[in-house]
Amino acid sequence: MVNLVIMRHGEAEPHSSQDSQRQLTAKGRDDVSHMALWLSQHYQAFDLVLCSPFVRAQQTAELMLKAQPASTRLEMIPELVPEGDSHQVQLYLDALRSETPELRVLMVSHMPLVSFLVETFTKTGNTPIFETSALVGIHYQPGEGGKLLERLAPADLALLSH
């Protein structure tokens, strides 16, 4: 069963002098909303959404929360920025899961960190490239590692709906 989802933020405005302040585009908001709906229909609710402090990741997380129960918490994690350390994120999640072993978590971050997070949590040597709004579902147990169970992007949803 998937208990960890790692997601790249939705499509954002072109690069600017303040990368951390870039906003989602209309397409980005649309794609994220579709992914949120799909997740809510196919996965159990999340207990916690962890996101980068960058605006586009916060906007993505907030859209994802709209399809979750009101009890789902949002927490910004400074280490989830593009140049963050995936091993520090793993240590943080392991600490959370030691207190609440059944914790279901959605992480919203950036390339290249999302790729490194997949490798860190699954130990496959695989660092997949993520499209914007794409996600992976992992079954993860601290001390045992994780197994990649699903990978999905907005384009896949279009194919599934036909």
Q: Among 17-26, 115-124, 134-143, 153-162, where is mean pLDDT lowest?
A: 153-162
Q: Among 7-11, 50-54, 89-93, 155-159, where is mean pLDDT lowest?
A: 155-159
Q: What average pLDDT score do residues 46-52 get?
A: 98
Q: What is the CA radius of gyration of the chain?
A: 14
How far, in Å, CA of 44 to CA of 21, rounded?
Answer: 31
Judge if pTM exceeds 0.85. yes
Domain ranges of the chain: 4-10+21-160
20: which 2 tokens? 């951390």
pLDDT confidence of residue 158: 76
pLDDT confidence of residue 102: 93
- Give residue 143's pLDDT band: very low, low, confident or very high (50, 70, 90): confident
Cis peptide before 82 (omega within 30 of 0): no
Percent of the chain with pLDDT over 90: 87
User: Mean pLDDT of all residues in the chain?
Assistant: 94
CATH T-level fold of 4-10+21-160: Rossmann fold (3.40.50)
Sign of CA dihedral 61, 35, 122, 124: negative
